[in-house]
Amino acid sequence: MIAPHLDDHTVYIAAAGFTADLVHELEDLHGARVLDVRGRLVVADGPPRPAAWAQNVWLEPVTIPVASIGDAARKLKGIQRNWHLHATGHHRRAALIQEQLPRVAARPVAFGDAPPTAPLGSWTLWEPDLVLASARCTSPFPDGEPRFEENRTVPPTRAYLKLWELFTLIGRRPAPGELCLDLGSCPGGWTWVLAELGARVFSVDKADIAPHIAAHPNVNFCTGSAFGLDPRHAGAVDWLFSDVICYPDRLLATVGRWLELGQCRNFVCTLKFQSETDHATARAFAAVPGSRLLHLAHNKHELTWVLLRD
């Protein structure tokens, strides 16, 4: 059971379907003590820790005793205007409280728009007479899950949404004219995103990418193995991207060769796990100085590794 005050606690919202991975990460990697788990909501002791499997983190959690539905709404509005309900139980009563709070329109994001700047707090009804809430969270999106105005005609799959989400969150993307290497690019969704940004894209895969993407004036497609390309022969590139399906340790070895040579400034790679999460390799990626490991809302059983050196 959580304490009546949470000054020395943090609340994490796990990526959907990966609560066990988040608990493992907090306990085994960071030595945190997990105090309670309700669905995707994980309460752990100590200050916020870097948790790749957390979709959102509540930075200032507090418990608020409430006498009624109206009392709960008044107390939340007394803290700030915008709140998102993360339901963990007592669903009807929680929904009635949320109805008395100002409506927050979670409109789909147009790619290229900046993330929302208005503070968005998160709350849940922990007990019928107890609200658990945080006015500050790590993500400006409800539960850390942005929705985009999708392009349903050009990209061959929805994998392009991973790059849209990442670029939106980090506020960085390849600039026009920069050289991007897309390893294992078939069917071409990531290549399309990069080419549309004006970057020059060298796209590599054993299988062909979609013909309309290969024909893009900014795309140079080459048939070959993503892992057979020797960085010593490729020359300097501004960005290396990989969404290839492979074991994470093989991707780590490939990235290691590029890091050792120093011919690439920025990296964006997807670690795709099989039936079990390879926590050891994930930790090895996270240990690369200056890099970041995160679960995007559009990831599946995956993590995205980012290293920006500009």
Is residue 21 helix, strand or coil?
helix
- DSSP secondary structure of 163-223: HHHHHHHHT--PPTT-EEEEET-TT-HHHHHHHHTT-EEEEEESSPPPHHHHTSTTEEEEE
- Helix H segments across the chain? 19-24, 69-79, 91-99, 160-170, 189-196, 211-214, 231-234, 248-261, 279-286
- Identify the CA nearest to 174 among candidates 52, 304, 306: 306
Sign for the CA dihedral angle at 108, 112, 117, 119 comes to positive
d(CA 286, CA 98): 38
d(CA 211, CA 221): 10
Residue type, 134: S
The encoded tokens of residue 74 equal 């008044």
Residue 144 carries which DSSP code?
G
Is residue 239 helix, strand or coil?
strand
The encoded tokens of residue 242 equal 């990989």
Active site residue 272: yes
75, 77, 162, 272: which is the annotated catalytic residue? 272
CB atoms within 10 A of CB 3: 12
Cβ(190)–Cβ(181) below 8 Å: no
Residues belonging to the active site = 272
